[in-house]
Amino acid sequence: MKKYIIPILLAVLVFCITVFFQRFTILRQEGLGLFLNTPDFYRALFFDAFPLSNLIGSFLVQFYSNFYVGSAIVAIIVVSEYLVVRAILARLGIKAESLCMLCACTAWFFIAKAANPSMGVAILLCSSVPLIALALILGRKISARHALPKAVDIVCCIIVAASASSLVALHHDIREGEKWSRIEFAAVQGEWKFLLKNATPRMAQKDMNIVPYALLALNAQGRLADEIDRYPLMENLGLDYGDEVSYRRSLFDAVLYYNLGCYNEAIHRTHQCGDFLPHCTSFRTLRMLVKENYALGDSLMVVKYCDILDKSLTHKEFTSYFRQNPCPQRVPDSARVSSESLLIVTNDPMEIMLRLGRAGINSPMIMERYYAYFKLREYYRTHKQ
Amino acid sequence: MNSFVRICLCFLLPLVSCSPAKVSDSQEFPPIEPDYTAVTVPEGMAPLKFRMRDGRKFKCKHYRNGDTLWTVVTAWNNASDAVRYAPFPIVTSHDEIDPYIAYRLIEPGYENWHDMGIYQRELASFKETPVVTNLVNNRGCVNCHNFSGFSPDRFLFHARGTGGGTVFVDGNDVKLVNLTQVGAHKQGVYPAWHPDGRYVAFASCKTYQRFSIKNSQPIEVFDETSDIIMMDTATDSTYCISGLSEADRLETFPAWSPDGKTLYFCCAVGDTVSCEDRADIHYSLKSTSFADGEFSGEVRTVWQDDSASVSFPRVNGNWLLFTKSAYGTFPIWHREADLCILNLENGDFRVADELNSPDTESYHSWSSNGKWVVFSSRRIDGRYTRLYISHFDGEGHFSKPFLLPQRKPEHNQLRLQSYNVPEFISGKTSVCQSKFKKLF
């Protein structure tokens, strides 16, 4: 039993650190992940590099929708790594818990930094190979010949574990990842107060990229025109990410247009998110497509995406709501699309708002955004003079 | 209870509970998905697998009467509510069909993409294998595949992106030609390989797309300018042809007659098209004669309707199948787009209602013997194109089309990609992906 005390303590440590410092990273990983029990999914997986680790990683990531479960999976992977290294060393006749801890903590750091659990699974699988090889070559364990003094070993273990915990909790990239995970989560869920807590004007001074999200949250709460000058001006004097081509921009635009009430464009932008994802889609984009098509009144597409999500193990509750409350199928409109109702891709927010208005989308958010943009320009002109 | 009885009960109880106790008869065909009732299929086609549209359990009984396979479906929700539907026929035609079709699979996306590929599907089975995927050209675009005389060994496709161009495959030889750097210095789309295999006609278009804010048609695509150019594969050069690349006209969608003596194409009046006036552009169907590498004679108008636009003309003997839409050059996103059949001998025209649906029907191809046609349609959900195959009787009529069968009937619902540009091929292409990769 004694030999399991260190692994159990390590599991508890990893679980706690992940829950407290990577809660939203775990949720984001689920959002960016995908596991579907469909032939197309498996085919795409096996055409890609590292299919086995990706398969296991993709399977596990669906359970990250609950961050306690996700954190437990991270803890299990790290502890498994610890046990694998210990078994390898035991085969070689070496007894050094601190060395096992070092390997496990190194794996933990990379898992914490990675975008999905496939990294952890890949590390685990790779480190298992020497174990299997040794088992085959040596046949049985060599009795322990090299061992650190127990006290020294334990102290080293504690130092390594403490250092790793601090690193995971305080590392800049991991903190940034957690910050953006929080912002994206809040925006997609429409939790605007929470978003503003994580995108304050002071934080915006350090990272201008959070400004569009902050302005969107203000906009959704009807505070944009009043409070826009609390946030720093962006270079393009816009309210969004301009012509940046990235997942961040596509996701932001999808959320923005969904909240403005322009569901066609929200769907377009959500599809664009897929361009940055391994399977051209993810759990998050599929869930967004369900909501957007539901709002649009395209019940056929809602059913399609629900059917697809039901091919994972964790979306029954999500899809059952849309199945039990079907939206009426919208009536197709005339074949001729007027030029006024076409959106021209432009970085001019005023032009976009004008076109949305002309096409008959006149939500209060659009009106306020329009007004705020005027105010922004005025402020800029005054400021410049 | 001994263990043997327990084991027997374990197997028997579910069977008893799954079998309908009371069965009522219905005079209607069963509501199955895909709808394979009363379709005509070629001999040796992969099994037509289906499910009940409302998700009920069902069982089938089959019996054969000549070339017709009759299927009796009994469906039930629970043991006391079972319906036995009227037997529905599936007719087997002895007209041969090419063993493979090639198509592109792509997300019905908009501007960018991640995964894309041209695939081939064996019609006798469910086997789908890649011809080329965009892994070979660093996630660029691969599109516009076209086969010379239905041959799997001689074809071309475009690979767009950095270092891209048009890839020509001839047996084991693979070469990349950048059309913008040879001859006419124009890029090419919508290729049409001349039956003798030497010439390829392309449209050269400047294409734009816009996104609909509110309408149910999500995307509008239009050509600002377009011409037809020719490529001589013997010299790898391209050139423009008088009458097919006029400054005051838009020419596109070239298609050869099977004898190679006539080039059909679509043409609209106008030097450039802007977003605002795109809905006033109507393409008519034209033709011109071709022999020994030269075009001759006047350009003739084959079919014209001032309130409609023609796309994708495809000739089969005296019959020409095309897509008719309300306006413009890109019917793929037009819900009103329908397939129409034209008798080239007497000019008789009709909308092929037996092929069409309230949603988009667009790209289509004839089989090598002209007895079958494959076309893409968005009829399932309005967004994802799926492939349908129909038998042609040679008299201008088609059988009820059937959805390309899949190993699992829900596959078409679960697939997140659209099928583009379906083309019949006479065998399996076997060019190694690594050969393509070396080109980029």
Each residue of B31-51: pLDDT tens digit? Answer: 999 999 999 999 999 999 999
Q: Which of chain A's residues have a Cβ under 8 Å away from the Cβ of B384?
A: 304
Q: From CA B141, how far away is CA B135, in angstroms rounded?
A: 10
Q: From CA B385, how far away is CA B333, in angstroms rounded?
A: 10
Tokens for A120, please give them. Answer: 């952890």
Residues of chain B with pLDDT under 70: 1-21, 79-80, 109-110, 112
Q: Which helix (H) or strand (E) holds B381?
A: none
pLDDT in tens, A54-85: 899 999 999 999 999 999 999 999 999 999 99
Per DSSP, A3 falls in state G
- Reference A23, options A180, A182, A162; nearest CA is A182
Share of chain A above pLDDT 70, in %: 91
Per-residue pLDDT of chain A in tens (385 residues, 90 and over written 9): 677 899 999 999 999 999 999 999 999 999 999 999 999 999 888 877 788 888 999 999 999 999 999 999 999 999 999 999 988 888 888 888 888 999 999 999 999 988 677 887 888 888 888 778 877 777 666 666 666 788 888 899 999 999 999 999 999 999 999 999 999 999 999 999 999 999 999 999 999 899 999 999 999 999 988 888 888 877 666 777 777 788 998 999 999 999 999 899 899 999 999 888 888 899 999 999 999 999 999 999 999 999 999 999 999 999 999 999 988 777 776 656 666 667 666 667 777 888 888 888 878 888 888 888 888 777 777 766 5
Share of chain A above pLDDT 90, in %: 54
Q: From CA A97, how far away is CA B328, in angstroms rounded?
A: 72
Q: From CA B267, how far away is CA B311, in angstroms rounded?
A: 9
Q: From CA B60, how far away is CA B62, in angstroms rounded?
A: 7
- The answer to whether B398 touches B321, Cβ cutoff 8 Å, is no
Q: Name which of B209, B415, B416 to mutate to probe chain A: the one with the most chain A Cβ atoms within 10 A of its Cβ.
A: B416
For the stretch B140-178, what's the b/e string if a residue is b when 16 or more beta carbons lie within 10 angstroms of its beta carbon?
bbbbbbbbbebbbbbbbbbbbeeebbbbbbbeeebebbe
* pLDDT reported for residue A1: 62
* pLDDT reported for residue A356: 84
Q: Do B114 and A271 touch (CB under 8 A)?
A: no
- The answer to whether A110 touches A127, Cβ cutoff 8 Å, is no
For the stretch A25-40, what's the b/e string if a residue is b when 16 or more beta carbons lie within 10 angstroms of its beta carbon?
bbbbbbbbbbbbebbb
* pLDDT reported for residue B13: 41
Say how many Å lie between the first and final Cα of chain A, rounded: 75
Q: Do A280 and B383 touch (CB under 8 A)?
A: no
Q: Do A345 and B413 touch (CB under 8 A)?
A: no
CA B120 to chain A, closest CA, distance in angstroms equals: 15
For the stretch B240-250, what's the b/e string if a residue is b when 16 or more beta carbons lie within 10 angstroms of its beta carbon?
bbebbbbeebb
Q: From CA B201, how far away is CA B190, in angstroms rounded?
A: 8
* pLDDT reported for residue A200: 94
Q: Which helix (H) or strand (E) holds B172?
A: none
- The answer to whether B99 touches B42, Cβ cutoff 8 Å, is no
Burial class for B433, CB neighbours closer than 10 Å (0-12, 13-18, 19+): middle
> B39 phi and psi, to 5 degrees?
-100, 165
- Tell me whether B55 touches chain A (CB under 8 Å): no
* pLDDT reported for residue B1: 42
Residue reference for tokens 């059909």:
B264
* pLDDT reported for residue A334: 61
Tokens for B131, please give them. Answer: 């011809």
* C-alpha A137 chain-centroid distance: 42
Q: Name which of B213, B275, B332 to mutate to probe chain A: the one with the most chain A Cβ atoms within 10 A of its Cβ.
A: B213
Q: Do B382 and A300 touch (CB under 8 A)?
A: yes
- Tell me whether B379 touches chain A (CB under 8 Å): no
* pLDDT reported for residue B16: 41
Q: From CA A66, how far away is CA A72, in angstroms rounded?
A: 10
Strands B88-93 and B39-42, sheet pairing: parallel
ipTM of the complex: 0.88
* pLDDT reported for residue A344: 64
DSSP 3-state assignment of A357?
Answer: helix
Q: From CA B243, how far away is CA A170, in angstroms rounded?
A: 70
